[in-house]
Amino acid sequence: MNIDLFIAYLQHKFGEDIFTLGLYQCILSFLVACFVSVVSIPVVIKISELKSLMEKPGERRSHSTPTPTFGGIAIYAAILIAYFLWPSIDQTDIYRTNLSVAGMTILFFIGIKDDLVGIDPTKKILFQVVAAMILIFFGDLRVDYLYGIMGFHHIAELVGILLTCFIFIALTNAINLIDGIDGLAGGIATIASATFGGWFLLTNHFAMACMAFTLSGALIGFLRFNFSKTSKIFMGNTGSLIIGFMLAFFAVRFVNLNASFRYEPTAFFNAPIIAIVILIVPIFDTLRVFLVRILAGRSPFSADRNHMHHILLDNGLSHAGATAVLCGISFLNTVLFFLLHRNISNTMSLLILIALFGIYMVVSFTLKMRVKYVSTHPRRRKAVLRRELQNGIVGKRIVDYL
C-alpha cells in the first residue's frame, strides 16, 4: 500500500486526533523494541559463549567472571525492527531519522570490530565524524542559534557545522566512557531518550518521538540482562557508540527545533541548557576525567579508574547502588530544571551549570580522599574489601591475605 494512502486511511479512521495515533505508534514501537531486545539477547549470549567471545576480568574491569559483550547487536536489531515495522505519520523528520540509521549502522560495524579485535582511536573518531557528517550535510542538521548564551545568537554556517560535529563526537564518546558498570550507560540513555521522546511527541514530531521511544524500549530490554546474575551481558562498544550517536542526534534536533519554532508556546528559550542537563552525568564525568588527567600530566584519553562510577564502587557501593545514585542525579536535575527554567536566563543557567560542575568536582575529590584514607587503615580497608567481595569486585584471596 502506498504510504500516503495508508496515512490518509489512518487519518480518516482516527479523525483529526493525529496526536493519539502518534502516541499509539510510540507505545507500540517501545513495546516491540523491548520485546525484540529481550528475545534476541539470549541468542547473542549463547553464540558468544560457544565462540568464546567474552570479556575477561581485568584490573580496570568491574566484573569477576568472563561476560558476553555484544549486547549492542540486540539493541541495534531492536531499533531497526521496531522503527521500520510501520510507516511514520510524520513526514517532516522521516528523512533525517533514516539518515540517523545510516550513521548508526556505520558505528555499529565499527563497534563490532572494536569489540572483536580493537580499533585505533583515531580511526574510531574518523568514522564518528563520517556518521555525523551524513546528518549534517544530507539532513541539514546543525546548531546555528545559541539563544543569547553569553551574548551569542546566530552563528556562522562553518562554526555551526564544526560545533555540531563536536557535539556528536563528544556525546558519543561520553556515553562510551561511562559504560563501566552494570546499568549506568543504559539507565542514563533510557532517561534521556524518554525525555527527548516525550518533548518530540508533545510537539507533534512523531518520527523523532518514535525513534526516541524505540531506543528506550531496546534499552529496557537490554537492562533486564545487564543486571542479571545468571544471564549477564554488556552492551560493548557496539552498543555505547550507537546509543551515544542517537542521543547526540536527539539533542541537536531538540536544540534545532526549538530555535526554528522559538516563538511557539511549546518551545524552550534555553534548549541548549536543557539538553546539557538531560545528559548531565556523561557530560560532567567526561569533563572531570579529562581535566584530572590533563592536570596530572597524562593524556586525556589514558585509561584509569577515575570515573565517578569507579569512585562510588571504591567507596563500597554495589553496581546497582552506584547506578541508582548517578541515574537519580540525572533524573532529579532534569525534573528540577524543567520546573524552574522559565525564571532563569540562559547565561545564568550556564553559570549555574558551571557551579554544579564545581560541586561535582569537590564531591568526587572528597570521595577519592576517603578511599585513600580507608586504604591506609587496615581495619577499614578490610571491611571495604569484604563489601566489595560481596559485590563480586575483588577476589577472596585478597581478603584472606589481609
Q: Which of 250, 236, 274 is nearest to 100 (CA)?
A: 250
67 beta partners: 55
Q: How far apart are CA 319 and CA 280, in angstroms?
A: 20
Measured between alpha carbons, how far is residue 388 from residues 120, 227, 319 in Å?
33, 17, 10
Measured between alpha carbons, how far is residue 285 from residues 66, 177, 330 in Å?
27, 9, 12
Cell of 364: 568526587
272 beta partners: none
256 annotated ligand binder: no
Buried b (16+ CB within 10 A) or exposed e, 65-98: eebbbbbbbbbbbbbbbbbeeebbbbeebbebbb
CA end-to-end span of the chain, whole Å?
71
Cell of 20: 493519539
Q: Which of 147, 194, 190 is nearest to 344 (CA)?
A: 147
Taking the CB of residue 131, how many other CB atoms lie within 10 A of it? 28
The secondary structure of 213-227 as a DSSP string is HHHHHHHHHHHHHHT
Would you call 307 helix, strand, or coil by DSSP?
coil
Measured between alpha carbons, how far is residue 231 from residues 33, 42, 167, 286 in Å?
19, 8, 35, 30
Cell of 383: 571491611
Q: How far apart are CA 228 and CA 186, in angstroms?
A: 14
Q: Which residues are annotated as a binding site for Mg(2+)?
A: 176
Residues making up the binding site:
176
